[in-house]
Structure formats: structure tokens, C-alpha cells
Amino acid sequence: MIVVTGAAGFIASCLVGRLNQDNFNDIVVVDNFSVAKKEDNLKGKKIKEYVDREDFFEWLDEHYEDVEFIFHLGARTDTTEFNKDVFDLLNLNYSKQMWNACAEYQIPLVYASSAATYGSGTLGYDDNEEIIPLLKPLNPYGESKNDFDIWALQQTAKPFFWAGLKFFNVYGPNEYHKGKMASVIFHAYHQIKERGSMKLFRSHNPEYADGEQMRDFVYVKDVVDVCMFLMHHRKNSGIYNLGSGKARTFMALALNTFEAMGVEANIEFMDTPENLRDNYQYFTEANMQKLRSIGYDKPFYTLEEGVKDYVQNYLIPGKYY
């Protein structure tokens, strides 16, 4: 059995689909299944058992001998939420409990960290574990992820294999439920569909022209491929970046979305809300050498390839992965 937490969510539901593709069908999905708009993410997938996240550790105490691998992707991911208690409960303490259970039962573990741990990027975007205690995230979400990374690195009791993945800007199918936290491509598609135009944030940094702010956008199909690689690899424990390794501009993202939709580009700019300006990242780019060094050699989708696949094969027909 393979356990996937946060399974009704964006990345985790894609991972369940990817596991099914490779004929892994004894999958235990863990989540708070009360959110109706997430239900379609798991529809049609081969799943052995649904376990509520509140009941999971009790379930694991009974079934640990049958569990081969755990992907802990469940978390509160809202970067605009500022109630630290929410993150302490769902991101930090639940993850500590997960780690301790995997260490006790010697179950290999892959968990979701985040590029939000890098904050403004003043220390760069290298997944060097020595700098993790020095990072200064810009919001409570990033802090919760970094706090857990720091804690994990301090533990003497460990699962026999573990990996933390610092997800950069992931986009792709199954994010229909995410609302304001969905990817820029998702929002661009819907703006273009409704208005024939889209809005980007104006730059408030003299070093960047409007639309030239840069992010490392990574397609969810690459993210789940890396998860599959680690499940089979099971050595070289540690914390790894997971981006495309190539920063691209929001302008390039927008133009590619228009092109994939067959619509003439029409881009407007609006001021970045004042409450976001102080914490706004103008550049992120994952250094991917560490993952490459342990043998992951698959090429990543380019922004052009990923946007085209996402728009034409999922957004336009309204399909799920």
C-alpha cells in the first residue's frame, strides 16, 4: 500500500493518477474529504481506502506493516493566511507526527516543503541544507515549511529514506478548486476566456519592467515524475528543490496562454496590492543540480510545452489528470 496525504488536493491527486498509470492501485488516500469541490480530483481513480486526516495515525498504528511508502503532501498552502496557529497545527505539528511514525515503523517518506522557505531570495535558491536555518520566509506559510525542514534535519530518529521537496510555482490540471491560490496560468485562462484580455501586476521595482517579474514555473507532471523517481530510488535522503530550473517572466507565461488558446494577446497591468508589495518576490529560480546529482535525468517541460498541454488538454475540455 502507498499512502498519499492531501490526496484530494492539486498535486497529490495528480500523484494518485500517476501511480495508477504505473499500476499502483493499493492507494490509501488521506484528507479532509468534506470539501465538495475537490471530489472530482479523485473521481475515476483506483483507490483502496479513504482515511480522514484526523483518523490517520490511529489507522497507521493498525496497518503500518502493509504500508510501503508515504507521500505527505497535505498542508494548508494559503500564503495570504496569517494565523500562525493554523500552520502550526496542520503544517508543522502534523508533519512532526508523520515523521515520528515513519521513523518508528521505518516507512520511507517524501514530504512537501516549499520554495516559500527562501523568502526574498537574498540567500539564493540553492537547496544547501546548511543555509536552511538562516532562511527568512516572508509569510507564516513559508515559516511553517521552513520550521519543519529545520526540525527534520535535527532529528536523530529518521525514516530509512526521506526527502523534503521544495516545490516552486507548480501549475497544471486538478487545481480547479484552489480559487485565488490557483496558478497564474489558471487565472489567465479564465480572464482571457471571459474578457479576451488578462491583467498582470505592475512592477514596483525599478530593476524589473512591468510583466518582467520572474518565477520558476514547474509543470505538475514533472513534479509527480520526481515523486515516482524518489519512491523507486530510496537513497540519498535530504531536502531537494523541485522547480524547472529556469526562471521565466509573467509576460512569457501570459503570451503562451494566449497562443495556446488561439487568442490575440491583450495584456493590461494593475498595481500590486499594497499589502503584498513588501513581500513580493521578483525572481525565483530553483538550482536543480542536487536532484540531478542523484540520478534524476528526465528533461523538464518548458513553459511553452507545459502551458500548451495544460490549456489544450485540460482547461479547454475541462478535464482532470
Residue 277 in marked binding region: no
Indicate if 118 belongs to the active site: no
Residue 38 in marked binding region: yes
- Alpha-carbon distance of 163 to 74, in angstroms, equals 15
In sequence order, what E strands does the chain have? 2-5, 27-31, 49-52, 69-72, 109-114, 162-167, 169-171, 198-201, 214-215, 217-219, 238-242, 248-249, 267-270
User: CA-based Rg of the chain, rounded to a whole angstrom?
Assistant: 19
Among 141, 189, 240, 314, the one annotated catalytic: 141
Residue 57 in marked binding region: no
In sequence order, what E strands does 93-161 have? 109-114
Indicate if 178 belongs to the active site: yes
Q: List all residues 6 or more positions away from 49 whose beta carbon is below 8 Å from its beta carbon.
A: 28, 29
Residue 32 in marked binding region: yes
Residue 31 in marked binding region: yes
Residue 215 in marked binding region: yes
Residue 79 in marked binding region: no
Q: Which residues pair with 238 in a beta bridge?
A: 163
Residue 302 in marked binding region: no
Among 178, 199, 246, 308, the one annotated catalytic: 178
Q: List all residues 6 or more positions away from 136 whose beta carbon is below 8 Å from its beta carbon.
A: 119, 120, 122
Residue 114 in marked binding region: no
Give which of 165, 178, 149 is closest to 225, Cα–Cα.
Answer: 165
Residue 204 in marked binding region: yes
Residue 10 in marked binding region: yes
The answer to whether 225 touches 299, Cβ cutoff 8 Å, is no
Q: Which residues are annotated as part of the binding site?
A: 10-11, 31-32, 38, 53, 73-77, 145, 169-170, 178, 180, 187, 201-204, 215, 280
Kindly list the catalytic residues.
Answer: 141, 178
Residue stretches of the annotated binding site for NADP(+): 10-11, 31-32, 38, 53, 73-77, 145, 170, 178
